[in-house]
Chains A and B, each alone.
Chain A
Amino acid sequence: MDYSNFIIMNHELSLVVVLVALLLADLFGKNKRIFQFFAMGLFLVHTVLGFTHWNIGEASAFSGMYVTSEIHVLVKNILNIGTLIVFIFAFYWNENKNKNQVGEFYFLTLSTLLGMYFMVSAEHFLLFYIGLETASIPMATLVAFNKNKKESAEAAAKYILTAAFSSAVMLFGISLMYGACGSLYYGDILIKFQSTPLHIMALIFMFAGIGFKISLVPFHLWTADTYEGAPTSVTAYLSVISKGAAAFALLCIMIKAFANYPGTWQTFLWWIIVITITIGNLFALRQKNMKRFLAFSSISQAGYIMLGVIAGTPQGMAAMVYYVFIYLFTNLAAFGVISAIENKSDKLTMDDYNGLYSTNPKLSFVMMLAMFSLGGIPPFAGFFSKFFIFAAAAEQGQYLLVFIALLNTIISLCYYLWVVKAMFINKSENPIPTFNSDNMTKIGLIICTVAMIILGFISPIYDKIIAISFGM
């Protein structure tokens, strides 16, 4: 066996080291606070190291099952940044409400991250499937972390059942694919794939499994219940990191394995995008619980992310990665505010937010920025990411689709602005009292706020991404 294969797996290897170190530290360390700093410090080192891996260029390992390139490195770095911010927001919750399982929280989260790395880098359906499962199963445990809460257990049960179901469907699709094409390498499938019913069925069954991870309609039904029941930090992680990784993996599969028959998958993806965005929006309109509300908002955002997939061009990939990058800060800012408020007052419904501006102006401001950015109001970062992804799709002639997406942004503005209205305009008899967040939350919110305001204006970011993107 050629051990030099392992060398190109920089991210994975260093994450494994982090995992082992954390496991040991958790075994022997007593002080949970020090452990948290240790874990975060270690992960920070891992994240920073991740930025030194650009120079690997394109390489593959394990007979081509695993590939890496600059864009893969970039996506993994983006996932790292997101995870780090989730950890920052989770600090207070870990310290006060999750005292007994701090080590497990870090270990399980990072395990799913490892799974996502493999998902992203896979060039073979088996490796992809293993990555997907590694990312899914620990997640169920994470969702169930609030052990004494009934909702948490319910959420986990729903998640694990749906995950198992979708996993089975996907595996069925993969085996059909193997039967039809005789190989599971993306490259081989690209050559052998044809537009016969068997091939199409294999493709769609497999697609459903990924669609479940990204929570595309109609595979989205678990999302709201799970998001609502899970601890807020886990929800944030689910809605951003897990979704981003799966979306990128899907794009890679579509480009690498099915590029010869774009018409086939673009047709159904077109419909899925339309119903995902629309249904996500329509349900979001009705939600009173902030976490459920963000769950549906993230479903419709997933639809926008898919616009980059349907474009299938380097521009599409760049726009998608950029979208995920911006979306990460924006959505995490929203979840950061929600978890800060939940930690202090256990309040989660939109009516509780009435009059928040009068008591907590800074939090309201961050939330407002997040809502504006999610809604795509210029000049915040969310506007630029939406603009690029619409442009990428429109470039491929998807005018009707872009038009529908644009119409939907109007609906989405409505509910995003409701939140702003609740905070700034609505009056409340007993608003959430003024409180001081812990320092970690403050740091996280500051990072996200700065990112939301200035990222859109830093054009080198997008230029860099487009320079290393690839497409059909």
Chain B
Amino acid sequence: MELTNLAPIVLALPLLMFMIIGLFGYKMTPKFSGILGTTAFSIVTIVCYYIALTYFFGSGRLADGSMAKEVIFNFEWLRFSENLVISIGFLLDPISAMMLIVISTVSLMVHVYSMGYMHGEEGFQRYYAVLSLFSFAMLGLVVATNIFQMYIFWELVGVSSFLLISFYYTKPSAVKAAKKAFIVTRFADMFFLMGILILSFYTQTFDFGPLTEVTNNHVAIVSETMGGVTFCGLSVISIAVFLIFLGGAGKSAMFPFHIWLPDAMEGPTPASALIHAATMVVAGVYLVARLFPIYFFEAHDVLTIIAYIGAFTSLFAAVIACTQTDIKRVLAFSTISQIAYMMVALGVSGYEGNEGLGFTASMWHLFTHAMFKATLFLAAGCVIHAVHSNEMDAMGNLRKHLKITHIAFLIACLAIAGIPIFSGFFSKDEILVAAHEASPVIYWCQTLVAGLTAFYMFRLYYRIFWYNEPDYGHHTPHESPANMWIPLMVLTVYTCTSGFFPFTEYISPDLMGFESHIHWNIAIPSVIVALIGIGIATFMYKKKTEYPDKVVACIKNTYHYAYNKFYIDEIYLFITHKIIYKCICDPIAWFDRHIIDGFMNLLSWITNKTSLEIKSFQSGNVQQYAWVFILGVLSIVALTIYL
């Protein structure tokens, strides 16, 4: 089959499903809509796999050994000027092909899993409709041929994320969380749009083709049109790409835009697995990777800033994750920390050959993280399904009741902790190698984060599956139905195996690929750190002991700050309510209510008064009519002649 014919299916089918289930879902039984959505998405998944595998193992490898950048189709949608065109197209290159696999796999698993998890929920059809919309938007985002198409789908994933977080819209907390997520990401997207506008203003193109074309260590179109242009002493290129990065930071929950992600856990757990763990939140990483040549060659300072922001965020989130008691929030902070890891990898990456390891590692970690984090979320979903609570205190000793979930969770925990043979070990190792080559500060910071990650993940693991069994009452937890544990198992298989795929040969910034091997000098310390983390967790949480309380008592203040997420939310609230609302919004509202409305009322009052005043002209006297008539004629004559 020709890819040209297949590729449109990837976008068209989910959109079609969204429309069909969205419009006619209320006439279907919930089960039918679920099966319809899942079947259709299975086809999409097969097509995605076909496209990606054909690309990686067939048409993608060019004669000179580099990977191709193919534009499968690209039609003009909106023409602004001679050069500036928005197209909707399908770009196939190593990272978009990889993303096709990530999105289709996780999304299909979530489709299947939700049939069990969401069973009996009100709005089941709506859930599936939005799931299709999200899949459409996310697929459209990764295959975008130009930055504006990416922006359009970027907003679409934002909308579907909003719709899924607010799925339980009768719950005030869900509504609040959805609003928060939408406003925070939208706020960041504003910078993204500004960045796009600046970039396209100078380069006169949206197309990724020219924007990522590297010649002689320069992105020609950018350096020729924007090189040397400064604004407030800063290079315009740096400003533009930093603004674009801010957009990515919003979606990928980088500090200080991270505040929406923990709250977004109000949504259904499978949706969290898909959107807020595996796919949408890595869009920011994907965006930076997509424009990597510009960042690397034209705005290296920004890339360094990205590395430091990433390093700080990963440490910051990891510390908070150690203190949270809601299992989904622990996973959310872990997600923030891991995405920041990917950002760090991009930030420290080089470009050519082996130096591009950071970039490769970032994409690799994106892949493995998507798999094990989705596993963790789906397993957490099974746990929540069994005990009907998100709080750790309601859990304990579940390994006896949920055997399959226990195994899946354990494997995913080992993977995220970076224990050898599991996928996370490989990708994390590459990131640390890249960081080690770039900067010792970042390297040690990331190693510390690796230890913390192992600690909080195993804290979570022990609290759920070991620890002391709480009183479950009559309701003994039991294993989930097959349509929930089968997807879990499939993702676990990916978690175990995806480390062995030779990513470095296929994905690299210069598209050439390179050989890689495990750097034991980096790997051994990181594994030891991880094992220490696991050891401490085992010591403190395998059984109920007094150690956790003692530790908390020792570092009471720090614990308190971390538990309250360092009061970032409160700072935001203070700035918005006390400063922005009080000092800007209130005066504007007053101005609107009194000056603008008052002026309008004055106008209507004048109109009314005038019409009352001139009423007497229409007296009914025909003599007067003739008088006005002739007077009118004469005055017009006078006016025309003398003016």
Bind each other: yes
Interface residues of A (CB under 8 A from B): 157-158, 161-162, 165-166, 169, 197, 200-201, 204-205, 208, 212, 217-219, 221-222, 224-225, 264, 267-268, 271-272, 279, 282-283, 285-286, 411
Separation of A225 and B614 alpha carbons in the complex (Å): 16
- Residue B571 lies at the interface, judged by CB distance under 8 Å to chain A: no
Nearest CB of B to A151, in Å: 11
Q: A282-B610, A285-B611, A286-B612 are in contact. Are A221 and B625 (CB under 8 A)?
A: yes
| B35 CB contacts on chain A under 8 angstroms | none
- Bound form: Cα–Cα A307–B640 in Å: 19
Nearest A residue to B607 via CB reads: A411
The contact sample of 7 A-B pairs, CB cut-off 8 A, is A158-B625, A161-B626, A221-B617, A282-B607, A282-B614, A285-B608, A286-B612
B617, A286: Cβ atoms under 8 Å? Answer: no
Interface centre among B610, B626, B640 (most CB of A within 10 A): B640
B631 interface contact, C-beta 8 A: yes
A264 to B637, CA, bound (A): 11
Do the beta carbons of B618 and A169 come within 8 Å of each other?
no
CA distance A194 to B607 in the complex (A): 40
Contact A165 B614 (CB under 8 A): no
| Cα-based distance from A205 to B629 in the complex (angstroms) | 11
The residue of chain A having its C-beta at the shortest distance from the C-beta of B615 within the complex is A286
- Point out the residues of chain A lying under 8 angstroms from B618, CB to CB: 221, 224, 283
**Closest Cβ–Cβ distance, residue A370 to chain B (whole Å):** 23
Q: Is B518 an interface residue (CB 8 A)?
A: no
Near A by CB (< 8 A), chain B positions 360-380 give none
Q: Which of A205, A222, A271, A282 has the most CB of B within 10 A?
A: A282
CB–CB A285/B607 < 8 A: yes
Among A197, A219, A411, point to the contact of B629 (Cβ < 8 A): A219
Asked if B535 is at the interface (CB within 8 A of a chain A CB), the reply is no
Measured in the bound complex, the distance between the Cα atoms of B615 and A221 in whole Å is 12
Q: Are B640's CB and A268's CB within 8 A?
A: yes
Are the C-beta atoms of B639 and A271 separated by less than 8 Å?
yes
CB contact between B643 and one of A204, A267, A282, A286 (< 8 Å): that residue: A267
A267 contact set on B, CB distance < 8 A: 640, 643
CB-CB under 8 A from B624, the residues of chain A are 221
Q: Across the interface, do A219 and B640 meet the contact criterion of CB distance under 8 Å?
A: no
Q: Which of B592-643 contact A (CB under 8 A)?
A: 607-608, 610-612, 614-615, 617-618, 620, 622, 624-626, 628-633, 636-637, 639-641, 643
B629–A208 CB distance below 8 A: yes
Chain A at the B interface: SS class: helix
Contacts of B608 in A (CB 8 A): 285
For B, the interface residue count at a CB cutoff of 8 angstroms equals: 26
Give the distance in Å from the alpha carbon of A157 to the alpha carbon of B614 in the complex.
24
In the complex, chain B residues whose CB is within 8 Å of the CB of A264: 640
When the two chains form their complex, are residues B632 and A219 in contact, meaning their CB atoms are under 8 A apart? yes
Which 10 residue pairs are nearest across A and B when measured between Cβ atoms?
A: A218-B632, A282-B611, A221-B625, A208-B633, A285-B611, A204-B637, A197-B641, A268-B640, A158-B622, A165-B626
**B633 and A204: CB pair below 8 A?**
yes
Known: A204-B637, A268-B639, A286-B612. A165 touches B607 (CB 8 A): no
Rounded to whole angstroms, the CA-CA distance of A438 and B633 in the bound complex is: 46
Contact partner, A204, options B611, B617, B620, B636, Cβ 8 Å: B636
Q: How far does the alpha carbon of A290 sit from the alpha carbon of B611 in the complex, in Å?
A: 18
Contact check, A157 vs B622: say whether CB atoms are below 8 A apart. yes
Closest-CB distance, A291 to chain B (whole angstroms):
14
Partner among B607, B610, B614, B637 whose Cβ is within 8 Å of the Cβ of A200? B637
List A contacts of B632 (CB < 8 A).
Answer: 208, 217-219
Within the assembled complex, what's the spacing in Å between the Cα atoms of A268 and B643?
10
A110 CB, min distance to chain B CBs, angstroms: 28
Query: B607, B610, B629, B640: which contacts A218 (Cβ < 8 A)?
Result: B629
Q: Are B636 and A169 touching (Cβ within 8 A)?
A: no
With CB as the reference atom, state the residue of chain B lying closest to A275: B632
**What 19 additional pairs, Cβ within 8 angstroms, besides A161-B622, A200-B640, A225-B620?**
A158-B622, A162-B625, A162-B629, A169-B629, A169-B630, A201-B637, A201-B641, A208-B632, A208-B633, A212-B629, A217-B632, A218-B629, A218-B631, A221-B617, A268-B636, A268-B639, A271-B636, A282-B607, A411-B607
How many angstroms between the C-alpha atoms of A225 and B643 in the bound complex? 34
Classify the secondary structure of B's interface with A: helix
Q: Which A residue sits closest to B619, measured CB to CB?
A: A221
Shortest Cβ distance from residue A431 to the other chain B in the assembled complex, whole angstroms: 28
Pair A165/B629 contact, Cβ less than 8 Å: yes
Binary interface profile of B, 55-74, with partner A (CB < 8 Å = 1, else 0)? 00000000000000000000
Residues of A within 8 A of B625 (CB): 158, 162, 221-222
User: How far is A181 from B598 in the complex, measured between Cα atoms in Å?
Assistant: 56
Chain A residues whose CB sits within 8 angstroms of the CB of B628 once the complex forms: 218, 221
Contact partners of B639 in chain A: CB under 8 A: 268, 271
Say whether, besides A225-B620, A283-B618, A286-B611, A204 and B640 are in contact (CB < 8 Å). Answer: yes
Residues of B near A268 (CB, < 8 A) are: 636, 639-640
A201 and B639 CA atoms in complex are apart in Å by 11
Q: Nearest Cβ distance between residue A345 and chain B, in whole angstroms?
A: 26
The residue of chain A having its C-beta at the shortest distance from the C-beta of B612 within the complex is: A286
A225 to B619, CA, bound (A): 10
Q: How far is the CB of A343 from chain B (nearest CB, A)?
A: 26
Compute how far the CA of A201 lies from the CA of B641 in the bound complex, rounded to whole angstroms: 9
A215 to B: closest C-beta gap in Å = 11
Q: Which residue on chain A has the smallest CB distance to residue B617?
A: A221
Question: Which of A158, A169, A217, A283 is within 8 Å of B611, CB to CB?
Answer: A283
Q: How far is the CA of A219 from the CA of B628 in the complex (A)?
A: 8
Report Cα–Cα, A268/B612, bound state, in Å: 26
In whole angstroms, how far apart are the Cα atoms of A165 and B633 in the complex?
Answer: 12
Contacts of B614 in A (CB 8 A): 279, 282-283
- Bound-complex Cα distance A286 to B608 (A): 9
Given contacts A205-B633, A218-B632, A219-B632, whether A162 and B626 have CB atoms under 8 Å apart is: yes
Once bound together, how far apart are the Cα atoms of A169 and B133, in whole Å? 73
Q: What are the residues of chain B within 8 A of A411 when measuring CB–CB?
A: 607
A225 to B633 Cα, complex, angstroms: 21
B629's nearest neighbour on chain A, judged by CB, is A219
What residue in chain B is nearest A221 (Cβ atoms)? B625
Residues from chain B with a CB closer than 8 A to the CB of A169 are 629-630, 633
By a CB distance below 8 angstroms, the chain A residues around B607 are 282, 285, 411
Q: Could you say which residues of chain A place their CB within 8 Å of the CB of B630? A: 165, 169
Question: Looking across the interface, which residue of chain B has its beta carbon closest to that of A170?
Answer: B633
Report the nearest A residue to B639, measured CB to CB. A268
CA distance A286 to B618 in the complex (A): 12
Report the separation of the CA atoms of residues A222 and B622 in the bound assembly, to the nearest whole angstrom: 8
Q: Which A residues are in CB contact (< 8 Å) with B610?
A: 282
Q: How far is the CA of A347 from the CA of B299 in the complex (A)?
A: 78
Shortest B358–chain A CB gap in Å is 56
Chain B contacts of A201 at CB under 8 A? Answer: 637, 641
CA distance A200 to B642 in the complex (A): 11
A205 to B611, CA, bound (A): 28
The verdict on A221 contacting B629 (CB below 8 Å), with A267-B643, A279-B614, A282-B610 known, is: yes
B-side contacts of A282, CB under 8 Å:
607, 610-611, 614
Bound form: Cα–Cα A136–B219 in Å: 80
B620 → chain A closest CB, angstroms: 6
Tell me how far the C-beta of B284 lies from the nearest C-beta in chain A, rounded to whole angstroms.
41
Q: Which of B617, B622, B631 has the most CB of A within 10 A?
A: B622
Interchain CA distance A248-B214 in the complex, whole Å: 67
Q: Return the chain A residue nearest B620 by Cβ.
A: A225
Alpha-carbon gap, A166 to B615, bound state (A): 23
Nearest Cβ distance between residue B422 and chain A, in whole angstroms? 62
Which residue from chain B places its CB closest to the CB of A267 in the assembled complex?
B640
CA distance A446 to B637 in the complex (A): 46
Q: How far is the CB of A138 from chain B (nearest CB, A)?
A: 20
Note all chain B residues with C-beta closer than 8 A to A157: 622
- Residues in B with CB closer than 8 Å to A205 are 633, 637
How far is A161 from B618 in the complex, measured between Cα atoms in Å? Answer: 16
- Chain A residues near B617 (CB-CB < 8 A): 221
* B622: A residues at CB distance < 8 A: 157-158, 161-162, 222
Which residues does chain B contribute within 8 Å of A212, judged by CB atoms?
A: 629
Across the two chains, which residue of chain B brings its CB closest to A264?
Answer: B640
